[in-house]
Structure 1
Amino acid sequence: MTEDLLGRHRDVLPDWLALYYQDPLEITHGEGRYVWDAHGTKYLDFFGGILTTMTAHALPEVTKAVTEQAGRIIHSSTLYLNRPMVELAERVAQLSGIPDARVFFTTSGTEANDTALLLATTYRRSNTVLAMRNSYHGRSFSSVGITGNRGWSPTSLSPLQTMYVHGGVRNRGPFAAMDDDGFVRACVDDLTDLLGHTRPPAALIAEPIQGVGGFTSPPDGLYAAFREVLSERGILWIADEVQTGWGRTGDHFWGWQAHDRNGPPDILTFAKGIGNGMSIGGVVARADIMNCLDSNSISTFGGTQVTMAAGLANLTYLLEHDLQGNARRVGGLLIERLRAVAARVPHVREVRGRGLMIGVELTTPGTDRADPDAASAVLEAARAGGLLIGKGGGHNTSALRIAPPLSLTVAEAEEGAAILDHALRSLDQ
C-alpha cells in the first residue's frame, strides 16, 4: 500500500519535494506525542511535522474548536468582519510586546516573511536587506532571496539586494575561537563595517535560533547589540519567530527575549506551532509600519475562521498548562541526557539548544568535517527504534533536529533519549 502511494507521489509531484527515509513513511494518525504509520507501527514524535504540532497530536481542545467552527462557517475572507480573527489578533498583539501593535494573518511562515519584507522595504524605501549567514526564511521567491543556506536556495535571482552578516553560528566561522564577548564585538564591528559600504538597508531579518540551519544561535545579547547599530541608522529589525515562538525555547516566550535589552523587534513573524497543524502564519508590527502600505490588500485564506478557532484553542491550552515551563524543565533534562550520550559517541561534535529545540551536530570523528551520511544513518536508526526526528544544518545537513510537542513528559523524554542513544552508538558498529 505505501509502495503504491510512493509511486503515485513520484508520478505527480515534483522531484524536489523531499521525503525522509529510504522507505518513506505515511503517517495516518496521532495522539499526544505519538503517531502511527499505515502499517500500524507506533512512533514517538520528536519533530512534530517540522515544529508545527506544538501542543499534542489530536489535542481534544483544538479538535473540538475546529469541529464546532466548521459546523458554523469555515471561511469568508478578510472582506468581512471575523470574530475569531479579531480575538486571536488581540491576544497575539498583547503577547508580542510590540507597542501599538497590529497583526496580519497569513497561511504560512513563508508568506509571513514575505509580508514583513514588503512592509520593511516600503516603510524604508529601500530594497536592500540584511540577513544572517546559515539562515532560512521560506520557499517563496523573495524569502529564498534572503536565505543564507545554499542547500535551500535554488536561485540567485531576487527582487532584493541581500547582504549576509556574521553571527548566527557560534561555533564555526572566523570568530568561532573567541569568547562570547569577543564574538559579539567582532560581529558588531563586521556589521558596522558592512553598513559603511552600502546604501542604508530596509531591515535586518534574523531567526533568534536558526531552525533549518541546525538549531544554531549566537550568544544571548547579540541582536540587542546589533539593534543599537541599526537604530542609529533607522534600520528595522525583523525577528523571524516561525520556529522559536510560543515558548518552545523554555526560557522565553519569544526567541528575541534572549536579546531584549533594547525591547521588542520592529516586526515579528510567526507561524507553525500556533495552529498545532492548522495553516496559520502572521506578522506583528507597530501601527506606523503595518499601515505604511498605500494600496488595497486582502487575504483570501489568511485568518480564515476555522484556523483562527484552532489557534485560539491551542494558545489557550498552551498558556493555561504552562507548556513554556514544561519545555524548560523537560527540555533541560533531555539536553543533559543527550550530552551524556554524546560524550560516548565520537561522531557528535556538539549538542546545543534550549527548551525543546535541540540540535545534535555530527562530524567525521576527530575532525570538524560535516557528516551528512551519519545524520541520515541516525535518522533511519531512530525510526527503526520507534522515534521520528529531523535533520538540518548549513554544512551539508549534518545536524539532527529534535523538537517534540511542548507537552512532552519526562518518561517520554527518557524513552526518546534511549532510542537516540542506541541510534548514535550504531554509527560505530
Structure 2
Amino acid sequence: MTDDLLGRHRTVLPDWLALYYDEPLEITHGEGRHVWDARGNRYLDFFGGILTTMTAHALPEVAKAVTEQAGRIIHSSTLYLNRPMVDLAERIAKLSGIPDARVFFTTSGTEANDTALLLATTHRRSNTILAMRNSYHGRSFSAVGVTGNRGWSPTSLSPLQTLYVHGGVRTRGPFAHLDDYDFVAACVDDLKDLLGHARPPAALIAEPIQGVGGFTSPPDGLYAAFREVLHERGILWISDEVQTGWGRTGEHFWGWQAHGRSGPPDILTFAKGIGNGMSIGGVVARAEIMNCLDANSISTFGGTQITMAAGLANLTYLLEHDLQGNARRVGGLLIERLRAAAAHVPAVREVRGRGLMIGIELTKPGTDEADPDAASAVLEAARAGGLLIGKGGGHDTSVLRIAPPLSLNVAEAEEGAAILEDALRSIQ
C-alpha cells in the first residue's frame, strides 16, 4: 500500500474496527469466486465479504440492474411508492413461508434484528428476550444486548432483559455428552425451567446456524421443540436468517426449515447475501405483528430503488441457476474433502457445517482448549497460498469460517481444500 493506507486507516477510524492479517489487505476488484488485491495478487474467495457476496463477484446480471436503475433514479425514501421495493417484497413474502406476510426493508442485518426486537417487544408488551448462548445478532444497542458471545458484546447495558438458553452449540456445554434426542430433551427441559422463573418473554431470537459463533448448530428439530413450548405461552420465535438464508445451507432455502415441523417462525430477519454486496436487510412477519406499531415510521435508505434492483436481479439469478442445489452438491464434496484433510491434523477438533457454510474448530492438541493463535496462523497461511477465509467462534475465535459464493464449482472447491490442507499442516 504505497500511500500508507493502513496508517491513514488507523488515524481516522476506530481502534475497535477489526482488520484481518498481520499485513491488512486492500481488495480492489473481483470476478466470479476470485478477488485481487492492490498489489495484483489473486485470491480464491471463501468468505465473500462475510457471507455477503452470495452469488459471485461482479455478477453481470446484478451489475446491469444496478447500472440501469442508477440511470433512472437511485433514491426517493419510503414516503413515495417504490415499484422495485414492492416487487422484491412480494417475492420474499412468498418465499418466507409466513402466512399473510409483511416485509420491511432495512440497510443491514443489525437493523433488521433491531426492528424484529422492536416488533416483538411491542406486540407482547414485554422487554424480556430469550437468546441463545454463543449467539451474535448485530452491532446496535439492542442487538448487542441479546448477543450471547462476549467477544462481540462490548457492554452489559441494554434496553432489554435477556435470558440465555442452552442448545446453540452441540459439542460443548453441559449437554454435549448426550445423544441428539436426549440433547434436545434436556434443552427443552432447561427452557421450561427458565420460563418458570421469569416474567413472560416477548420472543426467542435464534440463528439456525450460529455465524460469528463459529458455524455451530443444534440437532435438527430443536427449534421446533422450543416452538411448541413457546407457542403454548404466546412467546414469539424470531429466526435470524442473516447468514443462513437464500439456500446457503444447501438442504433448505431457510435455516428454520431444518426445525420446521411446527411451521415457520413468527418473525424472520434477513440481510447479507440477498444484495450480493448491496446494503439490504429486512424483516418478514405476520401482518398482526408487523402492524402492531402505533406510531408513524419510515426508512430513509431501507428499500431504496438501487438496492432493490440489485436484490431482484440477484434473487432471480440464484433461483434460476439453482444455487441452493449447487451449495448442497459442491458443499457436500468440500466438507468431506476438508474432513479427510483434517483427520491428519491433531489441532482440528471438529469440521462441521452444511452446504457452503463450513467451520473448522481448532484446539490445542489433545484438549478442548481453544487455540486462537492457531486459527490466526492458518488464516495467514491460507492467504499466502491464495485463499481468503474467515474466523470466529465463541471460545476465543478459534474457528475457521468457510463460506464461498454459492456458484462455487467443483474445481474451485478442490483448489481451496488443497490450500486449506497445506495451511492446516503448516501449524503442526
Normalised by the shorter chain, which TM-score bucket? over 0.9
Does 2:200 align with 1:200? yes
Structure 2 Cα separation of the partners of residues 217 and 415 of structure 1:
27
Q: What is the CA distance between 1:135 and its match in structure 2? A: 0.0
Q: What is the CA distance between 1:2 and its match in structure 2? A: 5.2
SS in 1 for 2:103: strand
Does 2:318 align with 1:318? yes
Letter in 1 for 2:224: A
Identity of aligned residues (%): 89
After superposition, residues 229-268 of structure 1 pair within 5 angstroms as 229-268=229-268
Structure 1 Cα separation of the partners of residues 35 and 29 of structure 2:
6
Partner of 1:347: 347
Q: What is the CA distance between 1:137 and its match in structure 2? A: 0.0
Partner of 1:139: 139
Contact 1:66 1:306 in 2 (8 A): yes
Letter in 1 for 2:128: T
TM (norm. structure 1) is 1.00
Partner of 1:280: 280
Partner of 2:297: 297
SS in 2 for 1:129: strand
Query: Unaligned 5+ residue runs, structure 1?
Result: none
Q: Deviations over 1:194-244 (max 9, x none)?
A: 000011000000000000000000000000000000000000000000000
Partner of 1:45: 45
Partner of 1:373: 373
Partner of 1:309: 309
**Which moves more between the two structures, 2-11 or 260-269?**
2-11
Structure 2 Cα separation of the partners of residues 2 and 258 of structure 1:
49
Q: What is the CA distance between 1:181 and its match in structure 2? A: 0.3
Q: What is the CA distance between 1:90 and its match in structure 2? A: 0.1
Structure 1 Cα separation of the partners of residues 262 and 314 of structure 2:
30
Structure 2 Cα separation of the partners of residues 11 and 394 of structure 1:
30
Structure 2 Cα separation of the partners of residues 106 and 308 of structure 1:
11
Structure 1 Cα separation of the partners of residues 141 and 46 of structure 2:
30
After superposition, residues 91-170 of structure 1 pair within 5 angstroms as 91-170=91-170
Partner of 1:364: 364
Cα separation, partners in 2 of 1:251 and 1:299, compared to 1, 3 Å = same
Does 2:390 align with 1:390? yes
- Give the total of aligned pairs: 428
SS in 1 for 2:427: helix
Partner of 1:177: 177
Structure 2 Cα separation of the partners of residues 87 and 191 of structure 1:
40
Partner of 2:64: 64
Structure 1 Cα separation of the partners of residues 262 and 198 of structure 2:
25
After superposition, residues 323-342 of structure 1 pair within 5 angstroms as 323-342=323-342
Q: Deviations over 1:166-197 (max 9, x none)?
A: 00000000000000000000000000000000
Q: What is the CA distance between 1:3 and its match in structure 2? A: 6.3
After superposition, residues 85-96 of structure 1 pair within 5 angstroms as 85-96=85-96
Cα separation, partners in 2 of 1:314 and 1:414, compared to 1, 3 Å = same
Contact 1:372 1:396 in 2 (8 A): yes
SS in 1 for 2:4: helix
Structure 2 Cα separation of the partners of residues 12 and 343 of structure 1:
45
Letter in 2 for 1:112: A
Structure 2 Cα separation of the partners of residues 144 and 188 of structure 1:
25
RMSD: 0.4
Q: Deviations over 1:105-160 (max 9, x none)?
A: 00000000000000000000000000000000000000000000000010000000
Partner of 2:186: 186
Structure 2 Cα separation of the partners of residues 3 and 9 of structure 1:
11
Structure 1 Cα separation of the partners of residues 81 and 421 of structure 2:
52
Contact 1:122 1:293 in 2 (8 A): yes
Q: Deviations over 1:347-368 (max 9, x none)?
A: 0000000000000000000000
Q: Deviations over 1:15-63 (max 9, x none)?
A: 0000000000000000000000000000000000000000000000000
SS in 2 for 1:72: coil
TM (norm. structure 2) is 1.00
After superposition, residues 202-217 of structure 1 pair within 5 angstroms as 202-217=202-217
Q: What is the CA distance between 1:425 and its match in structure 2? A: 0.2
SS in 2 for 1:314: helix
Structure 2 Cα separation of the partners of residues 3 and 131 of structure 1:
45
Structure 2 Cα separation of the partners of residues 418 and 198 of structure 1:
50
Structure 1 Cα separation of the partners of residues 378 and 358 of structure 2:
15
Structure 1 Cα separation of the partners of residues 162 and 2 of structure 2:
42
**Moved runs in structure 1, 4+ residues, more than 3 A?**
none
Contact 1:109 1:282 in 2 (8 A): yes
Structure 2 Cα separation of the partners of residues 307 and 44 of structure 1:
26
Q: Deviations over 1:233-281 (max 9, x none)?
A: 0000000000000000000000000000000000000000000000000
Q: What is the CA distance between 1:338 and its match in structure 2? A: 0.2
Structure 2 Cα separation of the partners of residues 367 and 238 of structure 1:
35
Structure 2 Cα separation of the partners of residues 327 and 268 of structure 1:
22
Contact 1:2 1:38 in 2 (8 A): no
Contact 1:2 1:26 in 2 (8 A): no
Letter in 1 for 2:329: R
Structure 2 Cα separation of the partners of residues 395 and 149 of structure 1:
9
Letter in 2 for 1:158: S
Query: Unaligned 5+ residue runs, structure 2?
Result: none
